[in-house]
Structures are given as structure tokens and as C-alpha cells.
Chain A
Amino acid sequence: MKFLLKIFDKNRHHFEEGGKLRLFKPVFDATENFHFSPATRTIFAPHLRDPLDVKRFMSTVIVALAPCVLLAVYFFGLRVLAVIFVSYAAGGIIEVLFAVVRKEEINEGFLVTGLLFPLILPPAIPLWMVAVGVMFGVLVGKELFGGTGRNLFNPALVGRCFLAIAYPKAMSSNWINPVLEFPGRMTQYVTSLNTDAISAATPLALAKQGNWAGIPNLLFGNVSGSIGETSAIAIIAGGIFLLFTRVANWRTVVGTLGSFAALGFVMHLANPQIFGPVVWHLLAGGLLFGAFFMATDPVSSPITNGGKWIYGTIIGVVTLLIRNLTGYVEGVMFAILLGNIAAPILDEIIVKIRLRKLKNER
């Protein structure tokens, strides 16, 4: 490690004011921060030592996502890695560009967006679409609102929404059939030209035709679907890790899944023709992934606890309604984006209510 530190110290002057490479100071800072903890200290009190900065926050999420990525590579093959790589590269370019132009630090926030985004895409999607989508998501979803921490929407979902509307055909057909027998597809690189491996429909689409995938398959992820969403076990494992480290807030997750389950149960009793069994619907599609990893995004979800409950409920109910009553097969993406829109208003309302209560008590 000493060796690395020496390299950084030796080259620092190039990036300082007046140095040859001063334009690229954000890149230098980011690389240094990635290896060592930042040397900057707060000047004024209060001094609070807490290892949980944005960097730790983000690396926790990445650790939590690891099981999903590993199982995806097993079931869908090396193509998954290519999609992730393109997402990081293309989104990173926008991120660095903005950091250089605005003379700000490169933010670790993109490490998570760049991994979440590929996980909600069909595995055999053309790689250029991945690049276009992540660039749009980072540019319009995040940077135009002022960068990390100021975005109204989840940038990964903005990117996916853009792709889903712009290229509906590619976004609804490039699913890969998983292989369960060892070694899965771990040694294969499946593209959309390989028609044997490409499947036209996800479990949710098949269910609309009355063809229900088995629950064990949904649990393990032995079904077609977006890269990270297929294996319920991997998502729950990662999700519980997030809840324990308190990176994700349990109120949002319980609100989302609870409202979905409650309303789904009632609807299933009322009309089993349209509304499928609750447990099956909880495990299928992107609901679990959305509830644990996308809805809990600390930036685009409400801050107040009451707001989180309502926000989760909105997402759960809207997902159920879109899934069962519209032409769309899956509604988690739209539901979370709608929740994101409502989040600031919910906070405002909750705070107002609390203030009024305080006034009355006085």
C-alpha cells in the first residue's frame, strides 16, 4: 500500500492548480478516494467520526447485489458481464464529463447506478442500447437535476423507462432461457442471434396466457427475465443484508410488499380469473428487486417515516394494478417512478401535519 501512496503523492502536483493535468483533478481524486480514505477533514465543530460515508453506503449496496449478479452469470452466461461493463463505461463517461466541466468531485453514487441499471435489462439486449440507456439515465435522470443527491427520480429507472418507450420491441423480446444443469451458461456468450437460447416471454407474460411457472423455479431464478430480477432467493438475501446494515429502510420495503400482498390477496379472492395467487406474484417479475433495491434509494424516496409508508403503499398498489389490469406485463418500473414523483410532496405533507400537531399541543 505504501507503494501506491507514493505514486499518488508523487503525481499530485500535476493535478493541483497550475498543473498540466488540472482539468482531470476529479478523476485523480476519485482514484485516490477509491484506494485510500479521503484526507479532507471538517474544519468546524461538530466533529463526528462515522465510517458510513457515501462510499461505504454504496459499497454495501454493491455487496448486496453480488448474489444476483453471480446467479445471473450462472443462468444467462457471460453476456451479463458484457452488459455490466458497457453500463459502467458509458455511464462513467458522462459522469466524468460532468465532473470535469463542473469542477466537482466524481461521486461514488454512479457505482450503484451503473450496476443497478444492467440488472433491470433483458440479458440479450443490444449493447449499444445499454450505452444509450445508461447515458440518458445519468444525464437526464441525475446530472440535469444537479448531480448525486439532488435527483428526483432513480437514474437507473429513468434509463430503463427511456429504453422501454423508445425501443419497446428490443426491450420485450431479448430474454435468455436459463440453463439449470451445471455449469449453466457460465461458459457461453448468448446474443440475440442465437435463437435457441432466446425466449420470447417472461413468466409474467406466460401467466397472462394461463401458463404459470413453478414456484421453486422462481425462487432459484431458473426463469427468463431481466438480468438481476429472476432469483428471489438471491434478492432476498441481498435485501436482508441491506436492511440489517440499515442502508435500505425497512418501512419502504414492508410498505411496498405488504400493500401488494394485502391488496393482491383480497383481489385474488374476489376474482381469481384476473388476479393470480399472491405468493406467485410476489416472487415473479421485478417486484422483489424493485422493492429492495430501487424503491429504497435514499435520494429519491421520502425522508420522513410516514412518507415512506405511503410511498411504499403507492408502489405496491400501482404495481398490482398495472400488472393485472393493463396491457403491460410488468409495472414495477412505472410504479416506482410514480412513487418518486410523489415523494417530495409526501414529505411536505407529513412535516406540515407534524408542525400542526406541535402547534396544537402548545
Chain B
Amino acid sequence: MENNKQHCGLCKPEGLFEGKGKITLKDGIWENNPISIQILGVCSALAVTNRLENSLVMGAALIFVCIGTNLFVSLLRNVTPRRIRMIAEVAIIATFVILFDQFLKAFYWDMSKRLGPYVGLIITNCIVMGRAEAFALQNRPMVSILDGAANGIGYAIVLAIIGFSRELLGTGNIMGFTILSDTWYTPNQLMVLAPGAFIALGFLIAVFNAIKGPEEESAS
């Protein structure tokens, strides 16, 4: 139990959103954004983003799964034997993914059909597993929740931007409302196809990198 009280040096006693919590949040959403910086979870980011609605639901799914996984992995981190930690993580992830999947099937059947296998495939999403491995195994539950939320939000924001631009350019509509009228706008059909997702993601990463400025060479 001594382990639990260990401080990491960054933590300050003021509260969750100061010190380490703040750094964790900023890291997940912006500095180390899972998609635009680490290029993780790209498969789902390309597959479901042809409509904004799908992207939002997928983002919500990942936030939910990330928070749940990080919380439980963190709670169990001192009782999980090291050698079976991976399988334990997968079991936890799968539990939350199935929960969300069943929820969709019960209340939003159409959406569930549209997302197809991609909700189930969150189990294999490297973002969730990566955060559990890299963060939750070493940190206390509250901060782990924050980290899960930050990464989930970082993922959801990127998905929403891609989904928004693809639906807008590809169909002229957003969530069923016509924005670009077809009297003067010809829908760009490339954007709703898979190559359009690659192009949109590429441009998004370029913009993010331009805002962040040139990467500092690590002194290694």
C-alpha cells in the first residue's frame, strides 16, 4: 500500500486539475494527440468519418472506453501480476467496448448498423491499450481517468474535424441540413470515399504540425 502514496514529483497537493492533472489533459488533447501526433487509431479514423454523426458517436465510444479502462486498470494495477497484465487489460477493454456496443444496439439501432464492426474493433485500438500500458499501470485512478478522458477527447476532436469536412465537401450537408446548396455546389465524391479520408487526415496533420511549430530535436 505504500506504493499508492508515492508522489511523482510533478504532483502538487492542490487538486486534480493543477500540476500533473493539467499536464495530463493538455498532453492527451494537444501535445501528444493520439491521432495527429502519434498516428494511432488511424484505421477507425479513416473508416467511420464519412459523416459527422458517425464520427461523434465513435469519438464518444472511445472516450467512454478509455476512461473505463484506465480507471479499472489503475485500480487493479497493484494486484495484477506483471506477466498476465496484457490479457487483463484486454479483458477490461473488451468489457467496456461490449457495454457501449450493446447500448448502441439497444437504443440507436441505425447508428449501430452504420458503424458496423468498427465499435467492436475498438478492442484492438492501440490508443486504448497504449494508454492503459503507458499511463494507467503507473498512476493513481483519478489521474488515470483524466488521462483516458484527455486522449479520448483528443481522438474525438480529430474525428469530428475530419467527419465535418468530409461530409460538408462530399455531400454539401451536415447532419441532414443542407449547407452548400447543390444549385451552385457540386459534391466532391472523392471526399466520401476512403482516399478522401487519407487526404483529409494528411492535411489535418499538416495543419496541426504547422500550428505546433517545428519539432524540437530530442537530445539523444
Write the residues of chain A forming the contact surface with B, with a CB cutoff of 8 angstroms: 140, 162, 165-168, 170
B209 interface hit (Cβ, 8 Å): no
Residue of B nearest to A129 (CB): B186
Are A166 and B188 within 8 A (Cβ)? yes
Residue of A nearest to B169 (CB): A166
Interface residues of B in 182-198 (CB under 8 A from A): 186, 188-191, 193, 195
Sample of 12 further A-B pairs with CB below 8 A, known A165-B189, A166-B191, A168-B189: A140-B199, A162-B190, A165-B190, A165-B193, A165-B195, A166-B188, A166-B189, A166-B190, A167-B186, A167-B188, A167-B189, A170-B186
CB distance from A145 to the nearest CB of B (A): 12
Residue of B nearest to A140 (CB): B199
Number of B residues near A (Cβ < 8 Å) is: 8
Distance in angstroms between the alpha carbons of A248 and B178 in the assembled complex: 49
What are 15 of the A-B contact pairs (CB < 8 Å)?
A: A140-B199, A162-B190, A165-B189, A165-B190, A165-B193, A165-B195, A166-B188, A166-B189, A166-B190, A166-B191, A167-B186, A167-B188, A167-B189, A168-B189, A170-B186
Residues in B with CB closer than 8 Å to A166 are: 188-191
CB distance from B198 to the nearest CB of A (A): 11
CB distance from A116 to the nearest CB of B (A): 21
Across the A-B interface, give the 3 residue pairs with the lowest CB-CB distance, nearest first. A166-B190, A166-B188, A165-B190
CB distance from A275 to the nearest CB of B (A): 30
Distance in angstroms between the alpha carbons of A167 and B189 in the assembled complex: 6
Distance in angstroms between the alpha carbons of A168 and B188 in the assembled complex: 9
Residue of A nearest to B195 (CB): A165
Residue-wise, chain B 162-191 has the 8 Å CB interface mask toward A (1 for contact) of 000000000000000000000000101111
CB distance from B168 to the nearest CB of A (A): 14
Residue of A nearest to B193 (CB): A165
CB distance from A182 to the nearest CB of B (A): 37
Residues in B with CB closer than 8 Å to A168 are: 189
Residues in B with CB closer than 8 Å to A167 are: 186, 188-189
Residues in B with CB closer than 8 Å to A170 are: 186
Residues in A with CB closer than 8 Å to B190 are: 162, 165-166
Residues in A with CB closer than 8 Å to B191 are: 166
Distance in angstroms between the alpha carbons of A122 and B19 in the assembled complex: 61
Residue of A nearest to B190 (CB): A166
Distance in angstroms between the alpha carbons of A165 and B199 in the assembled complex: 13
Residues in B with CB closer than 8 Å to A162 are: 190
Residues in B with CB closer than 8 Å to A140 are: 199
Residues in A with CB closer than 8 Å to B189 are: 165-168
CB distance from A130 to the nearest CB of B (A): 13
Distance in angstroms between the alpha carbons of A168 and B186 in the assembled complex: 11
Residues in A with CB closer than 8 Å to B193 are: 165
Distance in angstroms between the alpha carbons of A168 and B193 in the assembled complex: 13
Residues in A with CB closer than 8 Å to B186 are: 167, 170
Distance in angstroms between the alpha carbons of A168 and B192 in the assembled complex: 13
Distance in angstroms between the alpha carbons of A306 and B85 in the assembled complex: 54
Distance in angstroms between the alpha carbons of A140 and B191 in the assembled complex: 15
Residues in B with CB closer than 8 Å to A165 are: 189-190, 193, 195
Distance in angstroms between the alpha carbons of A259 and B191 in the assembled complex: 35
Distance in angstroms between the alpha carbons of A162 and B189 in the assembled complex: 10
Pick the most buried of A162, A165, A166, A168: most chain B CB atoms within 10 A of its CB. A166
CB distance from A328 to the nearest CB of B (A): 16
Residues in A with CB closer than 8 Å to B199 are: 140
Pick the most buried of B190, B191, B193, B195: most chain A CB atoms within 10 A of its CB. B190
Residue-wise, chain B 145-164 has the 8 Å CB interface mask toward A (1 for contact) of 00000000000000000000
Distance in angstroms between the alpha carbons of A166 and B186 in the assembled complex: 9
Residue of A nearest to B186 (CB): A167
CB distance from B26 to the nearest CB of A (A): 29
CB distance from A276 to the nearest CB of B (A): 30
Interface residues of B in 109-161 (CB under 8 A from A): none
Residue of A nearest to B199 (CB): A140
Distance in angstroms between the alpha carbons of A157 and B161 in the assembled complex: 29
Residue of A nearest to B170 (CB): A166
Residue of B nearest to A166 (CB): B190
Distance in angstroms between the alpha carbons of A166 and B191 in the assembled complex: 7
CB distance from A337 to the nearest CB of B (A): 12
CB distance from B98 to the nearest CB of A (A): 37
CB distance from A50 to the nearest CB of B (A): 38
Distance in angstroms between the alpha carbons of A184 and B106 in the assembled complex: 67
Residue of B nearest to A162 (CB): B190
CB distance from A221 to the nearest CB of B (A): 29
Distance in angstroms between the alpha carbons of A360 and B199 in the assembled complex: 46
Distance in angstroms between the alpha carbons of A140 and B189 in the assembled complex: 18
Residue of B nearest to A163 (CB): B190
CB distance from A41 to the nearest CB of B (A): 34
Distance in angstroms between the alpha carbons of A167 and B192 in the assembled complex: 12
Distance in angstroms between the alpha carbons of A165 and B186 in the assembled complex: 13
CB distance from A166 to the nearest CB of B (A): 4
CB distance from A105 to the nearest CB of B (A): 23
CB distance from B192 to the nearest CB of A (A): 10
Distance in angstroms between the alpha carbons of A166 and B190 in the assembled complex: 4
